[in-house]
Amino acid sequence: MLFCLIYLFTSWSSSPAVFAADNSFFVFFDAITRKSWAFDTLIVDIFMTNTIKLFPILLVAVWLLFEHRNGGKRISFFGCILAGSFISMIISRVMQNFSAHRPRPLHNPSIDYQLPFGIQDSVLKGWSSFPSDTSALAFSIVAGIFMASTRLGLAALAWAVMVVSFPRAYAGLHYPSDLLGGALIGFICTICAVPVVQYLAISKPVTAIPVKWHPLLWALTFFYLFQMGTMFNDIRAYGSYVKTVFGF
């Protein structure tokens, strides 16, 4: 898995095969964009809102959490989701900031693609395209859901592909390979969190939290889930403010 991450960081976006596959996507959908305002608005404006994009798969994760908890089953999958999502966001942001800059499709003059209704070519200007942190976050959640339920995992996977990922490529915000790379990062991070979470689950001195602190623990969990559902936008805004004020 480490070698996979290294390959994604160093060579994935520059591969000729990956470039050809990305270009084929935009050639195909160039004939579809701007033909229907209603369709473009559904894909771009509605599917890319946080309420539609990430909250449904988070609701599935919470549903499974309480279903397993009430049934006396292990809930370590939920810990893997929390840990995997956090790690995947860090890795995807580090890759975006420190790997070779890749202009987004809507800013790449070599991509002949007619943007759909609802997207301005000034959006995210200057931001590197690879990998998609949205995809990394979504698929880290999906990986955890699979650990608890294959049936709901398949449903969450379909949602992550069609509702989370596809609109971002259709809107020209990402290449399909950005989204696939992000998905691999998300799956890898959640899977790698399994042994750590399982160790903590059986380590009584580590996990024996007094009952009086449980409300605080669940409140913090809710706060973190909310931040996941909103792609940590508030925290990013605060970070940008601090960076600007202190000149980091």
Give the pLDDT confidence score for residue 221 in this predicted structure.
Answer: 84
Asked if residue 164 is part of any domain, the answer here is yes
Residue-by-residue pLDDT tens, the chain, 248 positions: 555 655 555 555 667 777 788 888 888 888 888 888 888 888 888 888 888 889 999 999 999 998 888 877 888 889 899 999 999 988 888 888 787 778 888 888 888 888 888 887 777 777 788 888 899 999 999 999 999 999 999 999 999 999 999 999 998 889 998 999 899 999 999 999 888 887 776 665 555 666 777 788 888 888 888 888 887 777 777 767 676 777 65
Residues 156, 46: Cα–Cα separation, whole Å: 18
| Residue 192 · residue 84 · CB < 8 Å | yes
Burial of 1 (0-12, 13-18, 19+ CB in 10 A): exposed
Asked if residue 220 is part of any domain, the answer here is no
| Residue 135 · residue 146 · CB < 8 Å | no
Asked if residue 67 is part of any domain, the answer here is yes
Residues 246, 208: Cα–Cα separation, whole Å: 40
Asked if residue 244 is part of any domain, the answer here is no
Residues 176, 215: Cα–Cα separation, whole Å: 41
Give the pLDDT confidence score for residue 23 in this predicted structure.
Answer: 86
We report the CATH number of the domain holding residue 108 as: 1.20.144
Asked if residue 232 is part of any domain, the answer here is no
Asked if residue 229 is part of any domain, the answer here is no
Domain total of the chain: 1
Side chain identity at residue 94, one-letter code? V
Instruction: Give the containing element (helix H, strand E) for 245.
Output: helix 233-246
Asked if residue 108 is part of any domain, the answer here is yes
Residue 76: domain span:
13-205
Asked if residue 68 is part of any domain, the answer here is yes
pTM surpassing 0.85?
yes
